[in-house]
Structure 1
Amino acid sequence: MDVRTRILEGKGAVVTGGSRGIGRAVVRRLAHDGATVVFGWHHDAAAAAEVEKEVAADGGVAHGVRADLGDPAGVDTLFAGARTHLPGLDLLVNNAAARHTPALLVDLPEDEFDRLMAVNARAVFLALRHAARHMRDGGRVVNLSTINTVMPGPGIAAYAASKGAVEQLSGVASRELAARGITVNTVSPGATDTDLLRSTNSEQSLEMAARITPMGRLGQPADVANVIAFLCGPDARWVTGQNIHAAGGLG
């Protein structure tokens, strides 16, 4: 690894939902930049182990912690792991999102709405509270939202609502934590080629998403991870309270 890239040396990072997709790319990038990373995972132990191996092969350090973020105790478990493995809490990336099946409002079960809000919004609130209490001055928080909060469509009411809550939490936290030099920003990806996207969209829908994106393709996890890495680095010290659309020109 080129030591000149290790701009996050000595930093401790927590990434939720770090075993797949965008989260996996974020874990790898932050570790490559020198941070020690604790990442949350829930269902796939093999994928989490693979992330740890990939990071180690690149000369970095990452530790997976199994945590169900739909349960408040799971958030506590993740941050207990952070206290064990990190030099301190400097970076927080709230990436985890619950899988959802698109459903019109008329058909949307209440328990599905509650489940999505628990993982996508309440867990972010709880993680932000941990950050407010324990993050070292000068830290960075990046929360993942979606381009769907400004480009809504049928069938995604609960998902879009949960991410809208994330955006509001980000705005408030950016003002509450600014005096300590902690920045809080939101990144809103467009259609990004992940397992989550493919599990909830047909191939025809994915082709359409690529066509309506001005840059003419689906995003890749690394495209989004690079934006997050910038916000976590020293050059973004004067950027806070922003919602950056990493969407190839959409939004």
Structure 2
Amino acid sequence: MTKHAKIPPQHQDSMPAAEHEMTPAPDWRPRYPGSGRLEGKVALVTGGDSGIGRAVVALFAREGADIGIVYLDEDRDAEDTRRIVEEEGGKCHLVKADVGDHDAAFGAVNEIAEHFGRIDVLVNNAAQQFVDFDLRDISEEQLRRTFDSNVMGYFFVTQAALDHMPDGAAIVNTASVNAFKGNDKLVDYTATRGAVSAFSRSIATQLLDRKIRVNAVAPGPIWTPFIPGSMSDEMVEDFGSHAPMGRPGQPWEVATSYLFLACEDGSYFTGQTLHPNGGMIVGS
């Protein structure tokens, strides 16, 4: 079991929040030497600047991939992640864009594809969440913002990427344990993650003829900028304690699922979901 530093109360008034302001810092570092499982590949990761996205980017770079990152507005986190990729010996291209906007999403994907020449692995990961204790408190503006980021963005980015992906490529979408068990404080976010699960299974079937594998990862409570960006001090301090393992997970513990599904190790997986969630037993 990974060591877990106690999380002190903290809150940031932004969504997405900043990783460099979190205490303790999320643990994104890969644990093992690379073995070339993504050697020569190009991976596009939305929301790759921080949190789970940063851990995925770091691990993919260690395994030999060059990385395109699409991020919203966290410039410092994005530059920090670019340095991580370069220290692993990879190339990194950053694009600042709101994937919930059709033209911005297509523009970002096309820029990365033109920069590297193709996209071999797509990770749809960018998302936002907001805590509300009463369904009636969810404003139309918030509802549309959450669905634009978490659902429309996945559609737009995937639509754009398919023109640049060779047969046999891989798509990995970020879902959530909440899509399987529900969450009464994150109703709109949970609904979007359910949509991602259905989206993943549907396009997995649609893309079988191109041998493009489509899978999802449904993390449990993971210590990422989502948490101080959406929760109160008290909720942050208690975060992850309800998981059977008694602690939140760290981003590096989730990134390995993405690598498995992105590389040939997962060659017989499509339309499936992996559940790094600290021991919560949920339907698949």
TM-score greater than 0.5 by the shorter chain: yes
- Further displaced range: 205-214 or 151-160: 205-214
Which protein, 1 or 2, shows the higher relative CO under an 8 Å CA cutoff with sep ≥ 6?
Answer: 2
| Correspondence 1:139 to 2:203 | no
Other structure's SS at 2:146 match: helix
Q: Which aligned pairs between 1:17-166 and structure 2 lie closer than 5 A? A: 17-166=47-196
Shift of 1:72: 1.1
Residue 248 of structure 1 aligns with which residue? 278
Q: Deviations over 1:161-185 (max 9, x none)?
A: 1111111110111001112211100
- Unmatched segments (≥5 aa) in structure 1: none
**Between structures 1 and 2, the one with greater strand share:** 1
Q: Deviations over 1:65-119 (max 9, x none)?
A: 1111121122112212222222311100000002424352112111211111111
Shift of 1:234: 0.7
Shift of 1:35: 1.0
Other structure's SS at 2:223 match: coil
Tell me, yes or no, if the aligned pair for 1:11 and 1:87 is still in contact at 8 Å: no
C-alpha distance in 2 between matches for 1:212 and 1:46: 32
Residue 193 of structure 1 aligns with which residue? 223
Tell me, yes or no, if the aligned pair for 2:200 and 2:214 is still in contact at 8 Å: yes
- Further displaced range: 39-48 or 15-24: 39-48
C-alpha distance in 2 between matches for 1:222 and 1:176: 31
2:173 maps to amino acid: N
Other structure's SS at 1:8 match: coil
C-alpha distance in 2 between matches for 1:151 and 1:4: 35
Tell me, yes or no, if the aligned pair for 2:180 and 2:194 is still in contact at 8 Å: no
Tell me, yes or no, if the aligned pair for 1:56 and 1:62 is still in contact at 8 Å: yes
C-alpha distance in 1 between matches for 2:113 and 2:47: 18
Residue 226 of structure 1 aligns with which residue? 256
Tell me, yes or no, if the aligned pair for 2:172 and 2:258 is still in contact at 8 Å: yes
2:275 maps to amino acid: H
Other structure's SS at 1:77 match: helix
1:231 maps to amino acid: L
Q: Deviations over 1:221-250 (max 9, x none)?
A: 111111101111111010010111110111
C-alpha distance in 2 between matches for 1:170 and 1:162: 12
Other structure's SS at 1:97 match: coil
Tell me, yes or no, if the aligned pair for 2:182 and 2:190 is still in contact at 8 Å: yes
- Unmatched segments (≥5 aa) in structure 2: 1-31
C-alpha distance in 2 between matches for 1:145 and 1:92: 14
Shift of 1:124: 0.4
Tell me, yes or no, if the aligned pair for 1:42 and 1:66 is still in contact at 8 Å: yes
Structure 1 runs of 4+ off > 4 angstroms?
206-209
Q: What TM-score do you get using the length of structure 1 for normalisation?
A: 0.93
Q: Number of paired residues?
A: 250
C-alpha distance in 2 between matches for 1:34 and 1:121: 29
Q: What TM-score do you get using the length of structure 2 for normalisation?
A: 0.83
Shift of 1:61: 1.6
C-alpha distance in 1 between matches for 2:132 and 2:82: 32
1:172 maps to amino acid: S
Tell me, yes or no, if the aligned pair for 1:192 and 1:218 is still in contact at 8 Å: yes
- Further displaced range: 179-188 or 146-155: 146-155
Tell me, yes or no, if the aligned pair for 1:38 and 1:81 is still in contact at 8 Å: no
Tell me, yes or no, if the aligned pair for 2:109 and 2:161 is still in contact at 8 Å: no
